């Protein structure tokens, strides 16, 4: 295997994240194993979104199968390619609809986590707006020969800003969205920080009453639990008009919708999701991609999952040709994550061992045979019928590498074959109920 070239910053981030059982934000390409077809399919979606099409995908798999990993991987690719990306984990406070503004809570989280290539860690709304304004100012200066302080320069800039705003005014709520964007420009032009702050508050969904919004900005509507998705569509159209390739929204932990105990509330969320799905599949949105990570139960449980609704079954159930042939379809709305093969797991462990050695500056000495022993020991202790997932294996393996590094007198065989080796078992709710100990 070719020697990996990874900076200390990346290797440290990988080791720290994986040790804690969370998906790293950076360096994922170094440990991406066995998901080539899934990634290829999602990258095709990015190409489509850049062309003005909308895309909707479910990433479905058991706990630890790599849903969050795939979502993070596509996030990184989208940012690198010039998309605006927003990601959020659903929770009891952040859903798609609810009686206490849970849908608005999701919107606010997405807006706070807007990311671009220059602001990959989120909070990119200001840089998106001001970067666009600066770009227009440069265009006006180049086209007219005027300087920013010249009389009429700002009028020329505003005229170009209004040209972009006109493209979105015909959409639902587009006129008000455009008015707020113009208000931000005026605050920028006049150095009116209060006006800029009010515009940002409105765009982030932070106004609680229409009266408050009208007093601050002159608009008669606010973003609320019923309308937030309309503004996601507007934002996608807007960022595409100002030079980005589109907007990609990533929602993880959809199992929280499945876990809603009240039938009426759960169905309300599923209906909102169905409305978004239909909207995108019928090409009523542009330059927008939505990818949702969820468990198999969230999708298929006949009592509480999406399959309780015949409309969802028709749209997402696997074709009989897929089930009969035993091959997997990667282009449909549902992308299922199957377990990694033993060869893929070994490749992953090899990469992790090398990254760990690079990070702590020692010579990696584990052999392929020893890595196979590690996998077999987990299989023996969990039972042959257990489906090994990356989430189960990676955290245990990093623990083993840490212990070997910290205790050089302990052999690999002693460690994994000892009676104290208890592999992580993922419970039905995704919780670790047993893990490595020594």
Answer yes or no: is pLDDT of 2 > 80: no
Q: How many domains does the chain have?
A: 3
Give the end of a domain, one of 336, 364, 391. 336
Residues 58 and 83 in one domain: yes
What pLDDT does 430 receive?
44
Residues 313 and 327 in one domain: yes
Those residues whose C-beta lies under 8 Å from the C-beta of residue 250, and which sit 6 or more positions away, are: 71, 74, 75, 85, 86, 87, 88, 290, 291, 292, 293
What pLDDT does 34 receive?
85
With beta carbons less than 8 A apart as the criterion, state whether 121 and 113 touch: no
Assess if residue 17 is contained within a domain.
Answer: no
For residues 249-255, give the mean pLDDT: 97
Residues 288 and 363 in one domain: no
Residues 129 and 212 in one domain: yes
429 — pLDDT class (breaks 50, 70, 90): very low
pTM for the predicted model, two decimal places: 0.90
Residues 100 and 172 in one domain: no
For residues 71-86, give the mean pLDDT: 97
Give the gyration radius of the chain's Cα atoms: 25
What pLDDT does 426 receive?
52
Residues 285 and 323 in one domain: yes
Summarised one tens digit per residue, pLDDT across range 84-122 is 999 999 999 999 999 999 999 999 999 999 999 999 999
202 — pLDDT class (breaks 50, 70, 90): very high
For residues 211-238, give the mean pLDDT: 96
Residues in the chain: 438
Assess if residue 355 is contained within a domain.
Answer: yes
Residues 320 and 174 in one domain: no
70 — pLDDT class (breaks 50, 70, 90): very high
Range of the domain at 409: 342-434
Residues 136 and 188 in one domain: yes
Assess if residue 331 is contained within a domain.
Answer: yes
Assess if residue 243 is contained within a domain.
Answer: no
Residues 367 and 315 in one domain: no
Rounded-to-integer distance, Cα 140 and Cα 400, Å: 60
For residues 188-212, give the mean pLDDT: 97
Answer yes or no: is pLDDT of 263 > 50: yes
Give the end of a domain, one of 162, 194, 217. 217
Q: What percent of the chain has pLDDT over 90?
A: 73
Assess if residue 270 is contained within a domain.
Answer: yes
200 is written with which tokens? 């940002």
- What are the backbone angles phi and psi of residue 102, rounded to the nearest 5°? -65, -35
428 — pLDDT class (breaks 50, 70, 90): very low
What pLDDT does 311 receive?
93
Average pLDDT for the chain: 89
Q: Three-class SS string for the chain? A: CCCCCCCHHHHHHHHHHHHCCCCCCCCHHHCCCCCHHHHHHHHHHHHHHHCCCCEEEEEECCCCCCHHHHHHHHHHHHHHHCCEEEEEECECCECCCCCCCHHHHHHHHHHHCCECCCCCCCCCHHHHHHHHHHHHHHHHHHHHCCCCCCCCHHHHHHHHHHHHHHHHCCCCCHHHHHHHHHHHHHHHHHCCHHHHHHHHHHHCCCCCCHHHHHHHHCCCCCCCCCCHHHHHHHHHHHHHHCCCCCEEEEEECCHHHHCCCCHHHHHHHHHHHHHHHHHHHCCCCCCEEEEEEECHHHHHCCCCCHHHCHHHHHHHCCCHHHHHHCCCCCCCCEEECCCCCHHHHHHHHHHHHHHHHHHHCCCCCCCHHHHHHHHHHHHHHHCCCCCCCHHHHHHHHHHHHHHHHHCCCCCHHHHHHCCCCCCCEECCCCCEEECCCC
What pLDDT does 386 receive?
54
For residue 55, the domain's CATH number is 3.40.50
Answer yes or no: is pLDDT of 380 > 90: no
Give the end of a domain, one of 336, 362, 378. 336
What pLDDT does 391 receive?
79
Residues 106 and 42 in one domain: yes
What pLDDT does 418 receive?
73
Residues 157 and 84 in one domain: no
Give Cα 338 distance to the centre of its chain.
20
Assess if residue 232 is contained within a domain.
Answer: no
Assess if residue 275 is contained within a domain.
Answer: yes
For residues 160-177, give the mean pLDDT: 92
Residues 136 and 109 in one domain: no
223 — pLDDT class (breaks 50, 70, 90): very high
Q: What percent of the chain has pLDDT over 70?
A: 90
Assess if residue 4 is contained within a domain.
Answer: no
């Amino acid at each position: 295997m070719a020697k990996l070239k990874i900076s200390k910053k990346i290797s440290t981030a990988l080791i720290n994240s994986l040790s804690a059982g969370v998906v790293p934000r950076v360096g994922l390409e170094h440990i991406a194993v066995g998901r080539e077809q899934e990634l290829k399919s999602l990258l095709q979606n990015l190409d489509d979104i850049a062309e003005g099409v909308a895309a909707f995908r479910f990433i479905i798999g058991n706990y630890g199968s790599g849903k969050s990993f795939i979502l993070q991987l596509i996030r990184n690719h989208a940012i690198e390619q010039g998309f605006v990306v927003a990601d959020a984990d659903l929770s009891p406070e952040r859903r798609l609809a609810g009686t206490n503004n849970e849908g608005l809570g999701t919107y606010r989280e997405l807006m706070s986590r807007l990311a671009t290539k220059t602001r990959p860690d989120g909070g990119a709304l200001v840089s998106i707006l001001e970067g666009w304004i600066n770009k227009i100012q440069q265009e006006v200066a180049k086209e007219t020969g005027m300087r920013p302080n010249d009389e009429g320069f700002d009028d020329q800039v505003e005229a170009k800003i209004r040209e972009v705003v006109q493209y979105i005014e015909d959409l639902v709520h587009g006129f008000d969205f455009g008015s707020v964007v113009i208000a931000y420009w005026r605050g920028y032009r006049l150095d009116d920080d209060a006006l800029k702050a009010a515009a940002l508050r409105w765009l982030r969904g932070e106004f609680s009453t229409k009266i408050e919004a009208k007093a601050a900005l002159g608009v008669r509507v606010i973003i609320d639990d019923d309308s937030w998705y309309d503004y996601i569509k507007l934002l996608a159209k807007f960022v595409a008009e100002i030079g980005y390739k589109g907007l990609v929204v990533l929602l993880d932990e959809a199992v929280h919708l499945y876990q809603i105990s009240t039938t009426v509330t759960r169905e309300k969320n599923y209906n909102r999701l169905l409305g978004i799905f239909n909207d995108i599949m019928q090409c009523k949105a542009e330059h927008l991609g939505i990818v949702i990570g969820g468990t198999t139960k969230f999708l298929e449980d006949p009592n509480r999952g999406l399959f309780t609704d015949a409309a969802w079954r028709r749209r997402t159930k696997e074709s009989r040709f897929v089930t009969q042939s035993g091959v997997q379809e990667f282009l449909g709305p549902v992308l299922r994550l199957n377990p990694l093969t033993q060869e893929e797991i070994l490749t992953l462990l090899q990469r992790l061992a090398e990254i760990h050695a690079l990070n702590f500056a020692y010579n990696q000495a584990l052999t392929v045979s020893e890595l196979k022993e590690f996998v077999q020991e987990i299989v023996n202790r969990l039972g042959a019928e257990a489906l090994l997932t990356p989430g189960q294996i990676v955290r245990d393996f990093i623990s083993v590498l840490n212990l070997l590094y910290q205790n050089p007198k302990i052999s690999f065989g002693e460690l994994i074959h000892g009676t104290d080796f208890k592999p992580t078992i993922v419970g039905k709710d995704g919780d670790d109920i047993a893990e490595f100990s020594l």
